Amino acid sequence: MAGTWVGVASMPGQRAHSRAYLEVVLGRSPRWIEIWRHFFAFTDLLILNLRTGRGAPVKCQLAPGNRDAFETLLRSSQPALFGTFHFGCSDLLGYLLGAQGRRVSIIRLQVDNSEDTRLLGQRYSDKVSFLWINNPATMLFDLKDAIESGASLALKCDRLEYSAKTAPFRFLGGNRIFPFTIYHLAILFGLPVVFCIAIPGNLPDEIDVFASPIFLPNSAMNRDENLQEARRHFQTVLDELETKVRQYPFLWFNFLPLNPLTSDQ
């Protein structure tokens, strides 16, 4: 707890972005203790990731709603595109897909100090690999190779860095630009898209997982028609994400500027 205060004091950029985000989601200027809570929630997530990487068991509780369709997809041999966001415990979802027997390539930006990523990668190395996107020039070819090898892809769809395709969607009080590459890949390769988010459960090392409806490109429709359906699907996903973000505001782990507002529809 004391260390978190040190982080708040010594990271002015992240602190400013936390304050700006909390002002939007809370509808008022946040108090210092609320900024601290935002940092502390992220610290909790890192500790959970490190413990999981070192072998602690994590129990997933899949919420009702779209559970049956999601479990059917998991049990199938169909490669898929699994999307998520920098929210809650969603960092763990790609590894837990690997634990279910799926071969998953997790799309990540490689950084020097990511000890949790290293440990998690070691623990699930038999099913999980990384697709590093630090080099945008080769990213599309790397994605294509991973998909054609039969692997599923797990990627986060909230940060704009290295995203080749973007589009505006309603989120947190306005139209904001979000990455949209996952749907272009789905239409190009005929793969299903499903989004999951996860939050801490009631017990230690337990997480509650919420799955979206599944988007599947329709071969009877042209590309533009499929993209229209994809936009509707992603808006539904973001509406549910916003509900969770407003319910658990300290679990939004983007210590960066919020997705920019746009007048585009």
- Other beta carbons within 10 Å of 66: 18
Residue 98 has pLDDT above 90, yes or no: no
39-75 pLDDT tens trace? 999 999 988 888 888 888 888 888 898 999 999 998 8
Residue length of the chain:
265
Banded model confidence at residue 113, pLDDT cuts 50, 70, 90: low
User: CB–CB of 215/193 below 8 Å?
Assistant: yes
User: CB–CB of 54/15 below 8 Å?
Assistant: no
What are the residue boundaries of the structural domains of the chain, listed by start?
58-249
What HEC string does 42-108 produce?
HHHHHHHHHHHHCCCCCEEEECCCCHHHHHHHHHCCCCCEEEECCEECHHHHHHHHHHCCCCEEEEE
Find the angle CA(100)-CA(199)-CA(177) to the nearest 5 degrees: 100
Q: Which residues pair with 65 in a beta bridge?
A: none
User: CB–CB of 30/14 below 8 Å?
Assistant: no
Rounded distance, CA 146 to CA 68, Å? 27
84-94 pLDDT tens trace? 999 999 888 87
Banded model confidence at residue 130, pLDDT cuts 50, 70, 90: confident
Phi and psi at 113, nearest 5°, equal -110, 25
Residue 262 has pLDDT above 80, yes or no: yes
Q: What is the pTM of this model?
A: 0.91
Rounded distance, CA 265 to CA 248, Å? 27
202-248 pLDDT tens trace? 887 888 999 999 999 999 999 999 999 999 999 999 999 999 999 99
Residue 1 has pLDDT above 70, yes or no: yes
Burial of 79 (0-12, 13-18, 19+ CB in 10 A): buried
Banded model confidence at residue 112, pLDDT cuts 50, 70, 90: low
Average model confidence (pLDDT) across the chain: 89
- Residue with the bigger pLDDT between 164 and 39: it is 39
Region of 27 please: left (phi>0), alpha (psi -120 to 50) or beta: left
- Other beta carbons within 10 Å of 133: 19
